[in-house]
Amino acid sequence: MTERDIIMKKILSLVLVVLMLASVLCLAGCGDTASNTKVAVQKGTTSLMYAQILKGVEAVSYDTFALAANDMKNGNADYVFVDKTTAKALCKEISGIKMIDIALSSENYGIGIDPAQAELKTQIDAILTDKAAEIEAIKDKYMNGEEDKYVGVTSAAKDVNNAAGQLVVATNAEFAPWEYKEGNKFYGIDMEIAQILATELGLELVIDDMDFDMVVGAVGKQGVDIAMSGITITAERMNVINFSIPYYTEAIVTVCKADDTSLDAVGTVVDLLNVLCASK
């Protein structure tokens, strides 16, 4: 691990400690009699980590954020914690839900890289820097819903006899607009960036679609070189994989039913957390 990685790891650990302390302090007045607020989240995500540290909140895990949002809409949870970009996509796809635009936390997305491939990290960091304008344009078209400009990415078959000629990317294609699948093609911000990486590296792109909670652990195993699935850089994950330089800053927000007025008056994250903690 480089000195830069060690410093980043310490910073991320400090941020998480501050977040935990702030949450506990904000909710200290709730008392033991407060009934649990059920928050639906996708398993393996930082949204789950956030929900689990909140006093008076019961985190309910799902395989995807879409399943979490639909179950919340059906009355089996009170709220959903989800990344803001995906929250917007969910609200567009699922009627009867809305996003509360107050950031619970701010986090950076990075590309997870096999620790045994130090040169690959150097190359990916250079590509992200050199292609910054092109990558920004990809983000913009998905954020703005310019569907006519989306580019479908086709995965090659993994070939163990040609491992040196392929870039194998682990992902969970259930996280629009970052990655999703239509037919035999992959779409999304990460998938188009993955194609740029493969092209610049002169490699054939292989996309390995799996459950999100398996993505990080897959890196460096069975030929998987990198992971791209809207992955937040955390100290815990840095114990397992290397990360590229950040390529996007995201926020965790709350989604609720469209007719739910419980959060209409909140103006700050402290206000929001106190409502989440309050007795039902």
Q: Which CATH number fits domain 111-245: 3.30.2290.10, 3.40.190.10, 3.90.1170.50, 3.55.30.10?
A: 3.40.190.10
pLDDT tens for each residue of 146-177: 999 999 999 999 999 999 999 999 999 999 99
Q: Delimit the CATH 3.40.190.10 region(s) of the chain.
A: 3-108+251-277, 111-245
> Which of 8-12, 29-33, 66-70 is the most confident on average?
66-70
Q: Which residues contact 20 (CB under 8 A, 6 or more apart)?
A: 53
pLDDT of residue 13: 43
Q: Is 42 exposed, middle or buried (0-12, 13-18, 19+ CB in 10 A)?
A: buried
pLDDT of residue 8: 47
Greater model confidence, 23 or 101? 101
Question: Is the pLDDT reported for residue 2 higher than 60?
Answer: no
Q: How confident is the model at residue 36 (pLDDT cuts 50, 70, 90)?
A: confident
Q: Strand order of the sheet with strand 179-182?
A: 174-175, 179-182, 185-187
- The dihedrals phi and psi of 211, each to the nearest 5 degrees, come to -60, 145
Please name which of 186, 179, 189, 218 lies closest in space to residue 205, comparing C-alpha atoms: 186
Name the one residue in this structure whose structure tokens are 């008076």.
Answer: 56
Could you tell me where the DSSP H helices lie in 144-261?
Answer: 189-201, 212-218, 235-238
pLDDT of residue 278: 67
Q: How confident is the model at residue 274 (pLDDT cuts 50, 70, 90)?
A: confident
Question: Is the pLDDT reported for residue 73 higher than 70?
Answer: yes
**Which tokens sit at 187?**
């779409």
pLDDT of residue 15: 45
Sign of dihedral through CA atoms 6, 240, 213, 50? negative
pLDDT tens for each residue of 177-215: 999 999 999 999 999 999 999 999 999 999 999 999 999
CATH number of 3-108+251-277: 3.40.190.10
- What mean pLDDT do residues 35-43 have? 89
